[in-house]
Amino acid sequence: MIIRRARKEDYPYFVLIEKQHPLLPQWSENIFIKENDNPHSVTLSAEENGKPVAFLNFIILRPEAEINLIAVDKAFLRQKIATKLLAKLREYAKKNLCSSIILEVRADNAPAISFYKKEGFHIEGSRPKFYNDNGDALLMRAAANKEIQSEK
């Protein structure tokens, strides 16, 4: 498993991975290209046997890093790939002097909420009926430095 910056040739794989998770926003290749042009935005690819199997996009806006999108190929779930992607995000956050990581997640996305809680995130707010289908959003935050978070 290699975690690295995403390249243009990864984007078709990311689109296919996201399609496996219909409640995600379904970014097109063009959106990934636009993100690549945004100096605050970072997309990471998790590669297995030369093929992307997961990705994470986030924005660095000191003092916060914000997760936009994370998705793992269904055939590779529960193999700690998202954990590794988040560990790499924490490296970027640390280098860029970000003290916390924030995100927004569907309130009915139990696997993701469970994953984020394991990573030290707590719920700090909600946005009722935030999504097009009237689904609620939860706002979550974690300390960028996991060690500091777990000592508290």
- Comparison of 5 and 118: residue with beta carbon closer to ligand COA: 118
Structure tokens at 53: 């199997």
User: Residues 118, 122, 127, 129: which binds ligand COA (CB under 6 A)?
Assistant: 118
Cα-based torsion angle of the residue sequence 99, 112, 28, 64 in order, rounded to the nearest 10 degrees? -10
User: Residues 82, 93, 102, 143: which binds ligand COA (CB under 6 A)?
Assistant: 82
Least separation, in Å, of the C-beta of 145 and ligand COA?
19
114 sits near ligand COA (criterion: CB under 6 A):
yes
Give long-range contacts, CB 8 A cutoff, 24+ apart: 5-9.
5/42, 5/43, 5/44, 5/45, 6/32, 6/36, 6/43, 6/44, 6/45, 6/52, 6/55, 7/45, 8/33, 8/36
87 sits near ligand COA (criterion: CB under 6 A):
no
115 sits near ligand COA (criterion: CB under 6 A):
yes
Residues 123-152 that bind ligand COA (CB under 6 A): none
Give the binding-site size for ligand COA (rule: CB under 6 A): 19
The site map against ligand COA for 28-67 (x = CB under 6 A) is: ----------------------------------------
71 sits near ligand COA (criterion: CB under 6 A):
yes
80 sits near ligand COA (criterion: CB under 6 A):
yes
Residues 3-32 that bind ligand COA (CB under 6 A): 21, 24
